[in-house]
Amino acid sequence: MKPSKENIIARIGHRSINSIWEMGVTARFLLQILWRSGTSVRRFQLVIREIYASGVLSLIIIVVSGLFVGMVLGLQGYQTLQTYGSENSLGVLVALSLVRELGPVVAALLFASRAGSAITAEVGLMKTTEQLQAMEMMAVDPVARIIAPRFWGGVISMPLLAAIFSMVGVYGGYLVGVVVMGVDDGSFWSQMQSAVNWRDDVLNGVIKSVVFGFAITTIALFQGYDAMPTAEWISRATTRTVVNSSLAILALDFILTSFMFKGM
């Protein structure tokens, strides 16, 4: 495992093989979660608890960031569009950027660092203090009882958070564009409505955030569940959760975008 002092190529090779390996293990882990999700459905109270932990507790950062991102979009968009005399299209610019890209992606990045790292730390700690083992010895499957509810809690929270982010962002753009800069109220909304499509833009954005939710929670849970039971490894696993899920979000976003908005 340890990269020796050999040459750099061997080290890169080691790393790539290891990451492919890890990807395979993560995928198998995801299948296990899905397979043992029966408990989460039967005892939905467990999932509600996790929606609180990852969804409700992420709400403040999502709302504040959404507002600011929307306001920046409004400001920048206004400056640029004004030069072409088409500041009435500001609504279109703000809404499309948020609904298609920034909403799902930025919300997912924030979710990964707020909720994802918390999940990793929590599960890692449970492993370190032998809670998962104790549960196993009590004839309770930790994957069904601990992992799966957290998974579904995250998967349910993610699209809701992304939608809230986009909506708050649109109002942030409205605040700057219409209230401060004086863009016409009616054309802000009507141009937006005629340009943003329910299915192609909004629904695709939601699909994106669902996929991100799957990726982030799987990575976070895996890193926690797979961590060596020491404090040092947990802190490393938490960092890895944020790094890996951010990379996964951006890569998945590119793939999904190229599928969804091909003909546009």
In what helix (H) or strand (E) does residue 23 lie, and over which residues does it extend?
helix 8-35
**148-174 and 59-83 helices cross at what angle (nearest 10)?**
40
Q: Does 56 participate in binding another protein (rule CB under 8 A)? A: yes
Residue with smaller CB distance to another protein, 16 or 194? 194
Give the DSSP letter of residue 139: T
Point out which span in 10-18, 69-77, 152-160, 244-252 binds another protein (CB under 8 A): 152-160
Point out which span in 128-136, 176-184, 233-241, 246-254 binds another protein (CB under 8 A): 128-136
Residue with smaller CB distance to another protein, 201 or 226? 201
Site for another protein in 130-149 (CB under 8 A): 130-131, 133-140, 145
Q: Does 106 participate in binding another protein (rule CB under 8 A)? A: no
Calculate the alpha carbon distances from 258 to 44, 66, 203, 255 in Å.
36, 25, 15, 5
Beta carbons of 30 and 155 less than 8 angstroms apart: no
Q: From the CB of 231, what's the least distance to another protein, in Å?
A: 14
- Tell me the longest C-alpha to C-alpha distance in the chain: 70
166: Cβ contacts below 8 Å, ≥ 6 apart = 66, 98, 99, 102, 103, 107, 205
Judged by CB under 8 A, the residue of 1, 198, 258, 262 near another protein is: 198
Give dist(CA 113, CA 221) in Å, integer. Answer: 13
Number of chain positions touching another protein (CB under 8 A): 47
Q: From the CB of 246, what's the least distance to another protein, in Å?
A: 23
Q: Does 42 participate in binding another protein (rule CB under 8 A)? A: no
Q: From the CB of 73, what's the least distance to another protein, in Å?
A: 13
Give dist(CA 193, CA 188) in Å, integer. Answer: 9
> What does the block give as tokens for 182?
């004086």
Residues that bind another protein (CB under 8 A): 45, 48-49, 51-52, 55-56, 59, 95, 99, 125-126, 129-131, 133-140, 145, 157, 159-161, 163-164, 166-168, 170, 189, 192-194, 196-198, 200-202, 205-206, 263
